Amino acid sequence: MTADGVVARRQAKVLIFDADDTLWENNVVFERVIDDFLSWLDHPTLDRVALRAVLDDIERANAVAHGYGSKVFLRSLGECLERLRARPATEAERLEIDRLAVALVEHRVELMPGVAEALDDLASRHELLLLTKGDREEQQRKLDACGVLHHFGAAHIVREKNAETYRWLVREHGFDPSTAWMIGNSPKSDILPARAAGLNAVFIPNENTWVLEDDELDPTDDGVLRLAAFRDLLRHF
């Protein structure tokens, strides 16, 4: 590490963490349910790519109208079935969708490798905040079960993570956005809006990130640090 890097590491910063697919795996469980759902649909003319495009369109609209979480996801699956079959879902079909989605309810919160150790180290030098979006009850359950909530000075569950959300966070905690870092896996929710609000950002890609959270990042933006794994944060902070 360079001398500048050592100095930067020793300076206390505000580090804001995303939760789903940054601290623990989340979307991979939804993807497994989608895979089972598309197999069950067994559409006579559309292939899986076309079926997924229909579902993505429905999820995109429902995210705007109803937010995020497993309840909205189940709604999207039901609407997808009804659109493809051009009729209301039967009771048996709705029960089958519920059965397919049992994994969402039973999924245990398991931290990604290195997260617990890294947070323990980072919390000794920096102020840690947590910012997650989604259904409040569902997200709170994950936070309560994660085992690392004690490291964070505050944890906020919001409906959407846009530039105004980050400006609100700055006002709420009274920190200088230019010395704060948003850390997450989503270009759409974690990186771009944080940068628009004047924060720095750390992008830690997750191959299972929801397709609707993808967006283009500016490769020349020196306010975005790109890391391969969560534990790499210790080399920079």
Q: Which pLDDT score, from 0 to 100, does residue 212 have?
A: 85
Which one is predicted more confidently, 129 or 10? 129
Give the per-residue pLDDT at 19. Answer: 96
In whole angstroms, what is the distance from residue 38 CA to residue 48 CA? Answer: 7
Question: Which tens digits make up the pLDDT trace of 61-72?
Answer: 999 999 888 889
Spatial CA neighbour of 167 closest among 193, 192, 202: 193
User: Can you give the pLDDT at residue 1?
Assistant: 39
The mean pLDDT value for 214-218 works out to 92
Mean pLDDT throughout 214-229?
94
Q: What is the pLDDT of residue 10?
A: 57
Structure token pair of residue 146: 């994660």
Render pLDDT for 110-137 as a digit per residue (tens, 0 to 9): 899 999 999 999 999 999 999 999 999 9
> Whose CA is closest to 101, among 130, 144, 72, 66?
72
What are 135-151's pLDDT values in tens digits? 999 999 999 999 999 99
pLDDT at 208: 86
pLDDT tens track for 75-89:
999 999 999 999 999
Instruction: Name the pTM for this structure.
Output: 0.84
The residues pairing with 200 across neighbouring beta strands, listed in sequence order, are 181
